[in-house]
Amino acid sequence: MSRKALEQSVRSAPALPGVYRFLDHGGKILYIGKARDLGRRLRGHLSSEGDARHRILLDRAEAIEWTVTGSEVEALILEAELVRLHKPPLNVMLKSSNRYPWIEVTCDEEYPRLVITRNPDRSRDIPRFGPYPDARNLRSLVDFLLDAYPLRKCSTATPEGRSRPCLMGQLGRCPAPCTGRAPDSYRDGVESILRILRGDWEWANSRLRELMETSSAETRFEDAARWRDLLARLGSFGWPAPETLGDRISRDVAVVRENWGLITQVRGGRFTGVLRMPFTSRWKLAAPAECISILLRTYYTDTEDVPREILLEEPLPDSDALEELLSGRRGSKVRLRVPGRGPLRDLVEVASRDLGQFLTGLEWKRPGRRRERAEAAMEALADLLGLREKPEWIVGLDASTIQGSWPVAALVSFREGFPDRSGYRRFSMDASIGRNDPAMIGSAVSRFASHLEEEMPDIFLVDGGLTQLRAALDAAGGRLPGTRFVALAKREEVLLDGAGEREIRLPLDSPPLLLLRSIRDEAHRFVLHYHRMRRSRIEIRSELDDVPGIGPALRAQLLRRFGSVERVRSATPEEICQVPGIGRKRALMILEHLSTSTDGAEQD
């Protein structure tokens, strides 16, 4: 259809709010949009060439359809649903991902539960919170909530009738509704959990303090100590927001850059989370204001945690409709603000810098132009360390152990800034140095250097601090004269140069530091893989393994009944005979063998 034909078709579009759709020659939806005034918006589409995406739309469009809604907010909701359903190629959307977990409160059950899931069931109309980028912090939060307000943990929708509570119920960690004796406060606990998850951390703080003081006044000191500990745990979540904010209201900061959006959460005067979400490939053709609008609509449509205030970098054309939509989700007024200066503007700037640093690190891992970035990083690294030429061969070393068990080390090799898998090496360590990280580093360096022939690495990177760096230098001795040793620890991200033991502090997004961090992280990944592999190969043995006629099944039954080999040794033959499959003769043989092994150990 020609441009004139499209203009002719939109003349009948009403001056009412609604959703419109551009279709191609096959009837496939190209783009879905919303408008406060359909006629004006569609005429604006056809009267201007616009950006690259708009030109593509006009070139491919053959028909226009629209649906009238009762308000602009209804148009906003309908547009989001249609975009999610049809996934038009010219609409900008957030990528769907199951990598972040959610919290669901199963309020559609008689006795609701708290559930962590990466695949939320959106067919159920239940409170849902998330996604949470830090799974460890999420589980700590859930543990805190269930310690403060215990809920049932069984997975059945309806608890089955039991004559006695389960183990969690006997420990006081479950109200045991399955026994028919659930307290009347069960629903109150659910409401308290929902209130905290919706961001009312100030109420949670005052409520726990009130319970602590009441218990103390009534001389219930154990209860008071419990509430005190819970109050301290509540204050441990997140990290403090700047005191210059001057308030403790719940607010989010939303920014976009390139193909990513970021939301920073502030609750009760503390930063409680940072969430990064990617857009689909059409992000390049959309204005930042449109991306921000889509970020807010998509994220807050799924979660119940809607703050009182959302800070933005720039104003949005549909801010009024978004405020009305989000206020309906929250149940109270939500305000979108674009701060011009002051502490609120500082929050926006911090969020923008955080997203910028994240994208810089992400850019380093992308395949496009990686060789040019690697060349620049190696040249900058040569300047920093005073090398005559850029380092063509860099190796990275890390060690791993669990309380001295299964000690290992691993070395990775990078040539011209890229992994050289043929140069990867693994080192098993003697148990005598399993608790000595510098000794393991020194042993690995010595063994690596002893197998080199002519070529030597330009840079030897050690994961650790000054102690590990000195251990590597001592172990190398004079066998690696042309190699510069450096160390990089995870916490400070400060580069230590072995020549003079000087500290070099670099910006987190600087190319040389990004290169060294990627090598350090690869060494860490490789050594952990080797450590897990060794651990899985080694069977946990006991003295029962050497008893003739005792296989895995009987061994497991003995340990299950008595709890340890020592208790089996001190048992009587009659007690051992109570284990199915063991008669008196075999019981005497077991006791004789365990007694012999003890005597042998004492003689040694």
How confident is the model over 92-114, as pLDDT tens digits?
A: 777 655 567 888 888 888 888 88
Burial letters 114-128, b for 16+ CB under 10 A, else e = bbeeeebeeeeebbb
**381 with 489, same domain?**
yes
**76 with 24, same domain?**
yes
Tokens of 95: 């990528």
Q: Examine residue 73 and state whether it is found in any structural domain, yes or no.
A: yes
Q: Examine residue 212 and state whether it is found in any structural domain, yes or no.
A: no
Domain end among 363, 397, 423: 363
Query: How do residues 44-99 score in pLDDT, each as one tens digit?
Result: 888 776 666 777 788 888 888 888 888 888 888 788 778 877 888 777 777 655 56
Decide: pTM greater than 0.85: no
**498 with 554, same domain?**
no
**424 with 379, same domain?**
yes
Q: Examine residue 127 and state whether it is found in any structural domain, yes or no.
A: no
Exposure of 368 by Cβ count < 10 A (0-12 exposed, 13-18 middle, 19+ buried)?
exposed
Range of the domain at 70: 3-86
- What is the pairing mode between strands 239-240 and 251-257? unpaired
The low-confidence residues of the chain, meaning pLDDT below 50, are 283, 539-540, 599-604
Bridge partners of 116, per DSSP, are 103
CATH number of the domain at 519, please: 3.30.420.340
**503 with 567, same domain?**
no
**255 with 298, same domain?**
yes
CATH number of the domain at 45, please: 3.40.1440.10
pLDDT for 364: 56
**520 with 571, same domain?**
no
CA-to-CA distance for 520 and 502, rounded, in angstroms?
19
Determine the residue type at 267. Answer: R
**340 with 376, same domain?**
no
**350 with 474, same domain?**
no
Measure CA 412 to chain center: 26
Q: Examine residue 217 and state whether it is found in any structural domain, yes or no.
A: no
Domain end among 329, 344, 363: 363
pLDDT for 520: 93
**387 with 522, same domain?**
yes
- Distances 318 to 83, 251, 264, 412, 428 between C-alpha atoms, Å: 17, 20, 22, 52, 62
**413 with 490, same domain?**
yes
